[in-house]
């Protein structure tokens, strides 16, 4: 069963309005402002109403989006990084390539840190990170665009009487400080 966090249910509305705080961004990461025509066009699609609706359809919290018309650039780009972002990115790439068949996008699944470093060193045209960027990453030129938000529900065994946890209690459980449910209540 899902428990509330700080008395707040893990709903899309609560993640969107910020009252449910256990959420993380799905970021598109570039090294500064992207200059590759396919990358610019693809990011435009991702942030469009269609791209954001796709994020919502896939169970994430997308935004309203900004209007987009493809310029139909041709070329190849590589997108790589977070395995958490990959399922959404697969859907976005498929939908974008229907809009712009001139583009080829290779998708590589690794992790968030590799997604950011890959964007910075040119291994990836676009990186994917399922976390906020670190100060040292932004100081090196990494630029994040929030593609969608991912609310993280906390689930316990249905027989567990716990109905609500604080963020501090969750942290204590996941760091191993608290190992017995009786200590939580």
Tens digits of residue pLDDT in 173-183: 999 999 999 99
State pTM to two decimals.
0.90
Domain 1-22+153-185 bears CATH identifier 3.40.190.10: yes
Tens digits of residue pLDDT in 4-33: 999 999 999 999 999 999 999 999 999 999
Closest CA to 137 of 61, 27, 36, 52: 27
- CATH number for region 23-151: 3.40.190.10
Domain map of the chain by residue range? 1-22+153-185, 23-151
Across 93-103, average pLDDT: 98
List CB contacts of 2: < 8 A, sequence separation 6 or more: 9, 10, 153, 154, 155
């Amino acid at each position: 069963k899902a428990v509330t966090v700080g008395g707040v249910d893990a709903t899309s509305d609560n993640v969107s309005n910020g009252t449910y705080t256990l959420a993380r961004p799905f970021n598109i990461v570039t090294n500064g402002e992207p200059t590759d025509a396919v990358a610019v066009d693809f990011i435009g699609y991702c942030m469009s109403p269609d791209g954001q609706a796709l994020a919502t359809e896939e169970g994430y919290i997308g935004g309203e989006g900004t209007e987009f018309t493809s310029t139909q650039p041709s070329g190849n780009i590589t997108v790589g990084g977070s395995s958490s972002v990959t399922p959404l990115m697969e859907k976005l790439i498929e939908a974008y390539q229907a809009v712009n068949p001139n583009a080829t996008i290779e998708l590589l699944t690794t992790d968030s840190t590799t997604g950011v470093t890959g964007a910075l060193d040119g291994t990836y045209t676009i990186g994917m990170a399922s976390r906020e960027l670190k100060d040292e990453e932004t100081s090196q030129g990494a630029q994040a665009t929030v593609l969608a938000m991912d609310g993280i529900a906390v689930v316990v065994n249905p027989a567990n009487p716990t109905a609500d946890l604080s963020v501090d209690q969750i942290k204590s459980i996941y760091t191993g400080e608290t190992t017995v449910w009786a200590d939580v209540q």
